[in-house]
Every structure is written in C-alpha cells, then in structure tokens.
Structure 1
C-alpha cells in the first residue's frame, strides 16, 4: 500500500509541482477551501482514503525523501460547516418580507401559515403497490440542496417499507404551484438507532437530485449549540388538527413552551424502550400537560424550530429538534447533539 501511494503521487508531481514546503507548514486545502497543515501522506487519513478509494489526486507540499507530503485539512469543528451553509442559504432570500416570521399564540390545532414562511418543510411519501397509492406519512426539514432531516422511525417501517419520494415547495398538499416532488435515493438511519427504543431517533434522506432553490424551497439552518432554545419554539406540520381527525391538507404552525428537564424526566419514567429515561443531551420536551398542546400533533420527523437571530442572516429558522414521540410533553430529538454526524453525512467533503 505504501509503495502504491508513492507511485501515484510521483506521477502527479510530474504534471503539477507545488512550491516545496516542509512538514508542519500551513497550507490551504483548495478542494474544501479550508486551512490545513503539510503532513506525510501516510499521516493524513482523509487524503490517503481519497487516493486509495476515490482516486482523488492529492494537493502536495513536497517530499521528504521518497515520501510525499500533502496538504492535510485541519479537523473541522462540529457546527462550523452548518453555520457557513446557513449564511449561504440565507443569501438566496431576495426580500425579507417574503418570509414573515410571525410567532403565534399556543393554539391546539395550530393556524395556517404564509406561503414562504417555512420553505424548508418537506413531506415524505411512501409508495406501496400501485403507482397511485402514494401516502404522505412523515415530515422532515430540508437542510441542504439534497438532504432532508427527519426521524429514524420514518425510515424503518415493517408495514410501509422505506420512503420513496419527498414533496417540497407547498403549504397545501393539493397545490401544484411551485411544487417539487423528488425521488429518494438513500435513507440514512443514525447508526445507534434501534426501533425498539426511543434514543437516537434521527435520520437523513438523500434526494435523487438537488432542489431548485427559491423563496418557496430553501434549506433551514441547524441549531449547533446545546444552550438554545430559550423559552419557546415553533412546531410546524400537516399533523392532526384534533385528536381523532385526519391530517390537515394545509401546513400548520403552533408555538410551544420548552419544558424544563425535571418536568420532562418526571413525565417519562424508565421503561423497556426508554431504559435510561429522558436524556437532556439527546431530547427536548415541549408543551404542558394542562393545555395538551404538545401531544404529537405534527407527524413524526417534523421540525421544532426557532427564528435565527445570531447574525444578520435573514428569513431563516434554526432546527432545534426533530419530532419523535410524546404524551403531554412532546419529545423531540435534540439536533445539536447530532451535529457532527449530520455534517459528516451531508457535507463529507468539508471534513477530514
């Protein structure tokens, strides 16, 4: 293997010779546009894997004897690529008034929303049997040009199989204007998720092709810090408007309190599928028992979100949770706990 790598890099250097640098010198990794350091190829796993498995030509710093020195990207800090992408996606917003982030009072069934208020909302469809038997059973959030964030429970079903298509760009499920239906090519379940438990209920859906970016379809930001949100957050979905009714055809929103951890933990005792109880790092509780607003009125996989206000970024929401399960206080998977895993799947080219 070592001789193989040396032969490859020797061939490359004949065509493209970079100024000689020594081990430890700083460099800029051109492909990811990130800072790096000159290392022996054998000491940089990311570049070594690119050479061996992807046949990517390495950016070289020089040689130490016969051993190639390459520009090895610095390990990325979890959350850094998410914050960069948040600013990038915000730049696609043309007019601030198109988003209309109106925080609503707590309402049992939620209220209809503006046409471009939540352009990241996605409905996930399951095809069983004939082509006209398409059912929208789960929700998700568009977080990049080609990935939907949802619940792992939505991606593993003994009765409905795996999801096959995603719907974007509409608030009414029957609307054809600005509608984008894109096939799913890959379902990625968190590696620690088990469908007999309530932990790590988070997954990703890869679309067959990138979305067409617009005011109606645009990725949301990801919440990267554990200490957010404070107070309340917005839940959105086509979920149940009353406890015994069918799903709403129109996208709804409701503002929910973030419940204190002690109250949430008390409501959910240790059980066979919740063997460690509620874990604050992994879960966010919303709603209250007395007003019953937090009883899973959105479909599984839908977002819990707060308005992004950390910088001049406009018309963006931060996804803080993914709807998982609940009674009284709805339980959401805490997104900040899974940032590194999400980034490694969605933006692997930006990591080491």
Structure 2
C-alpha cells in the first residue's frame, strides 16, 4: 500500500500542470486504443497496473488530490493474464527451485524436476463399473481455482466427465504435497464439436481454491500470437511408446515448433479437419525427424516456453494445449493455440476484473 501511495504522489506532482476532465476521450499508447479519462480510484485495470507492474499509468491530469488516468473503454484481452502472471511469481520463494532443465523425450523420456512444472495437473475419471480413478488427461493450473485442458477431455462418452484433479506431484504414487481436489464445473469452448479438431480447449473449476506453494502454482498464459523461440516443452503422464503403458512419472520433451506449411501438408483435409490446419488456432510441434513426441494420454497437457519477457521469475508461459497428432512417432503434432482464446479464458476465469 505504501508503494501505491508513493507512486500516486509522484503522478500528482508530475501532472500538476494538467487540467484533465473526467469523461474526456483519450488514446492509450502505444496501441492507440480508445480510453476515457477517469479517476484512478475508478479504473481497476490501471490500478492493477500500478500495483502489480509498478508502472506509471498514462494520465489525463488531476482533480484536487486524485490522479485522472486514461482508462480503457473496454478490457483489453491479455491484460488480466499478464498482471496475474506477475502476481503468481510471488509464490516462487526460492529461484533455485525453478529447475528449468530441459531434456528431450516423453516417448522414451525421463522424469521432470520435482518443482519444475508446479502448474501441471492430471484429471481423474471414474466409470460406472469401477471404483478406481483413471488418470487420462493432462491440464495446467492457470489460477487458484481453474485448470486449462482440452475440450476432448471433458466430453468423452466412454468415461464421462472428469471427477477430480491431482496437483502437486510428479509421480502419481507420491503423497508429499499431493492435492486431490474435486471438480465443481467444466467449461467447454462454445465452438468445440467432438466431430472436429477445432477449438479443442476447455476449463475445469476446482471445488475450492488451491493453496499455492513451490509445488503447486499457476502458469502464465501466452497472450500474443508470435512465439519468440523456436522450441517448446510438452509435459505429460501419457504413454511412453505407442504400445506401452502410461508413465507414473511426469515426463517432458523439447519439441521444435513446426512450420505451418509442413504441418498443413502433413494433415489432409478430412471430416474432422474440413479446413485443414488453421494457423490462428493451431500450433504444430515436431518435424517427424526425431523420435520424440507427445503420446496418448498427454491430451490437455501444456505446450510451454520459459517466461522471459519481464522481471517475472520461475514461470512458464502456456502457448498451447496438446490436442491431436499421428500417434507417438515424432509429429508434427497439433496443439490448440492459447493466445487465440485469451478473452474467452479471462471472461470465464476472472469475470470480476472487467471494468
């Protein structure tokens, strides 16, 4: 709170000369998007920017002792996600626990570090004829109470809807830091249809918020179409080879981000892909030249890159959700591109953060 007051005082001193009028139109730089002049106390989006980003907002002037700021007329997709990313980094108490050591396989892979992917979740299903849970799909914790996954994981007629989510472990038999929480709500993207391979993205809401630690912590969401690196990391508990069993250990694989042309050429237009691969909503990984891949059981899990855009430490950006591919033979495999769905995710997960 003290930092907030100091920053606001600086704003007032720097803008004594300005005679901003509440309600006037303004333009937000550098996007030139429309805004309206409001008291800082009446613009939550800019207040969050001051508190979490420690950046001076764009001002219109002042009224007595209160700053008047250029407030977006409508919430800009990605703004909430970026602020939440900075907020969640406060739970990384020891930088050495990040463990961003990247290796090369899920198929034939090796286990991850114990606190390397604290956002990883696995979804448990329970069929009518069995009391045992089946751990069938991956997911990513993106806030205290929501997990991002694939829509296909939420609409299976064979096993029904997921009942619980498991977080905090890398080995499924480990009980240290284990969080097994019932699922209260599932949210399938409204454009998803199980007869196609488009819009394969969904959310599950946990029965209660997770208690965050170095072992359980949300990931950041990638909010931009452009991906600044040529490789990404996939993680999952899926099959370790095409005819093999699933892994009890969380495994990771580094995959090349494949060119759109190669991926589109790989996948023929079919009943489930009537428009082929769509670059706006898909990210392809793997070239097929190396024997490393995601495999069955990895659906819903994250495709991620190390967050390095600002001072936020020990975080991953989720750029994709594992969707479909050609078995376990090196791809290219197809992921749902998260940046395309940011507004939909934010509207569901953080509805109270809008103006």
TM norm structure 1 = 0.80
Aligned equivalent of 1:237: 236
Aligned equivalent of 1:324: 323
**Where does structure 1 lack aligned partners over 5 or more consecutive residues?**
1-20, 37-71
Aligned equivalent of 2:277: 278
Contact kept, 8 Å, 1:32 with 1:350, in 2: the verdict is: no
Contact kept, 8 Å, 2:124 with 2:164, in 1: the verdict is: yes
Q: Structure 1 residues 31 and 163 mapped into 2: Cα distance closer, same or farther (>3 Å)?
A: farther
Find runs of 4+ consecutive structure 1 residues off by over 4 angstroms: 21-25, 28-32
**1:127 aligned to 2:138?**
no
Q: How many residues align structurally? A: 299
How far 1:289 moved relative to its partner? 1.8
Contact kept, 8 Å, 2:105 with 2:293, in 1: the verdict is: no
Aligned equivalent of 2:38: 27
Aligned equivalent of 2:6: none
**1:346 aligned to 2:345?**
no
Contact kept, 8 Å, 1:236 with 1:298, in 2: the verdict is: no
How far 1:157 moved relative to its partner? 1.0
**1:337 aligned to 2:336?**
no
User: What do you get for the CA RMSD once the two structures are aligned?
Assistant: 2.2
TM norm structure 2 = 0.79
**Where does structure 2 lack aligned partners over 5 or more consecutive residues?**
1-20, 25-35, 48-70
Q: Structure 1 residues 84 and 215 mapped into 2: Cα distance closer, same or farther (>3 Å)?
A: same
Q: Structure 1 residues 112 and 32 mapped into 2: Cα distance closer, same or farther (>3 Å)?
A: farther
Contact kept, 8 Å, 1:288 with 1:294, in 2: the verdict is: no
Q: Could you list the per-position Cα deviations for residues 91-114 of structure 1 after superposition, in whole angstroms to 9, with x for gaps in the alignment?
A: 111110011101224574221111
How far 1:206 moved relative to its partner? 0.5
Aligned equivalent of 1:82: 81
Question: In the aligned structure 1, how far is the partner of 2:89 from the partner of 2:224?
Answer: 19
How far 1:34 moved relative to its partner? 2.6
Aligned equivalent of 1:208: 207
Query: Superposition pairs for residues 2-41 of structure 1, below 5 Å?
Result: 23-24=23-24, 26-28=37-39, 33-35=44-46
Question: In the aligned structure 1, how far is the partner of 2:46 from the partner of 2:104?
Answer: 46
Matched residue of 1:186: which SS?
Answer: strand
Contact kept, 8 Å, 2:105 with 2:252, in 1: the verdict is: no
Contact kept, 8 Å, 2:106 with 2:293, in 1: the verdict is: no
How far 1:128 moved relative to its partner? 2.1
> Which deviates more, 27-36 or 131-140?
27-36
Query: Superposition pairs for residues 256-275 of structure 1, below 5 Å?
Result: 256-275=255-274
How far 1:292 moved relative to its partner? 3.9
